[in-house]
Structure 1
């Protein structure tokens, strides 16, 4: 509010203490502004953490305590029918362990034309994997005296209904680029809905088996969409009325590059894929948002600073490291810390065999060795200044029996 007043009316509150613009526009006096700034300063000073505070233990307690109360309900996704996504404890485990392959990868793709449902269906057809068997009426063997081939009849009505940009020429190119070892000369296009695929073989026996292999493999040839995307669902937001795509699969870069998708607003719940595609900062944001969404879906809230600390710990090395024995080994080279986590004997034997050294500067190492850790009052070293030792003055006595007059 103060910055808005400064920019709009060119008023500097520090120079013009009695400016009428503040009272006329915001109905505030200078004393109220001063009091407001004083309250802000007090709140900020209270929010600053004390030096030596065990923030890691507080963060672990803040995330772990609600996690014990979380239900073990695995599949739950509010607001979207027939869309399953892993939630609860299994999802938290996937995030913290930084799993490369998760059980239900979901990509949320925002559209450039988010108000038109037909445009959303068109983009869905470009992303969702479509096979030749899904858009074909039939695939049958045809034997004639001088040739034999597989006749493919396309279902044009289904192609138009799914808004697929597919032609017989595109289908022929997809068949050639597949692993079936088919050449362009083996494919003949008879009409807009009929094409044939011949079996190129020398002998009649091998030609028969080759034809059977083609009949079994041709329905699985991908003719449209991204091969790793198994399913896409059009979701309409009830509040804004805009459409978006919820995509099951792993190929964030392919989805972002699809025509009609707003690549700057695509999100994925796979932290590892986000890191490989968009970088470490995007992976850090994904960890924070996924932990928050998972907890809030079960009615639990965590302070954002705790999720930020967890995300920082997993990404400060420049790569996504899970809280596992492999991730901890890359975070720190402390043998005692790794031994206190998992496989104690194995870590100690390897460290002794290779002659490794431990600086003993972490919490676990200090507890094992029984020395003060660098937390709380142990964060600093207390020394005694011995340059000029103080002279200790004795308290005067009433009667000094060592005086000469008392000795006699």
Structure 2
């Protein structure tokens, strides 16, 4: 049985597929992964024993450049639809399985390929704000804002249909017609399907009922990581009290030097040492003092168990890893689903949601002060045992059962 996993997005979109691929291979499936050609993605997939089928432009170079003008969005969307349709069509097989997540046009292209082949198709959300629900609002595309004053979630999701059609209807339907598939009136619901999957942890992110569609929540897809920490990082960790980790993952940040300065000053204000995760923002030590250390690629599953708190952007993967480690969090949300995760962490009492994407030394100090209280630490430690680690295994079992049936 051949299973094609498809995504276009950042590390948080690719690494879960590596976790699923590992489980599928252990069950005897043949797995191919269509994803961006970034070298770090290929490396993570290689650890799962899966080769990358490169599709499209490297994401890191894309997000590090200037944002596209609104007039460029349709052409970029059309390219993604075409690229992923072609890649998945070549990689998948009739009667096989196609699993797609990531940017909407890439999912639409993968779905069109599955339709043509007669392959079983599963649309997967790695965060809930992709899926319509009366219990949360959709994220807002900057070029398609919702009317001021509309707060009802159901009404917002109805408006979301029009926003998705305006952004993606023409590129999706033009390509569908070109390859002999029928056009669709509602591209969002067609691509999501009647039974999408949600690969998030049910403790951190319970899919609440009643809901507008049948959603299969599998648990988060975690790629096990047994890489040791480097010798110099070990030396820093053992040289004093547990530091505060600050990192923004795949967020490029427009003023990385300023963000690093704020982070170092805010952590020092709490009497703590600081560990900066360079990430795509390339955070670096602010002044070279020995209470500050910067680290690149690292095993966060191990590292987070040895820090006092984690300050991060609020991506689904980092939030889950920190929750699993039982460490308090401060979320500084930037885009898309990150405000949702910040709100969830605050609601659960395992951390703090910073108000806005650009902290000052004072605002980050205040958030850290709350996160570093004994009560927050106790709640974070207590919740850690409830985070599931079998999401990828459960998803692999469901996929193979569905294909066999």
If the length of structure 1 is used for normalisation, what is the TM-score? 0.20
If the length of structure 2 is used for normalisation, what is the TM-score? 0.20
Please say which structure displays the higher CA radius of gyration.
1
**Structure of greater relative contact order (alpha carbons < 8 Å, 6+ residues apart):** 1
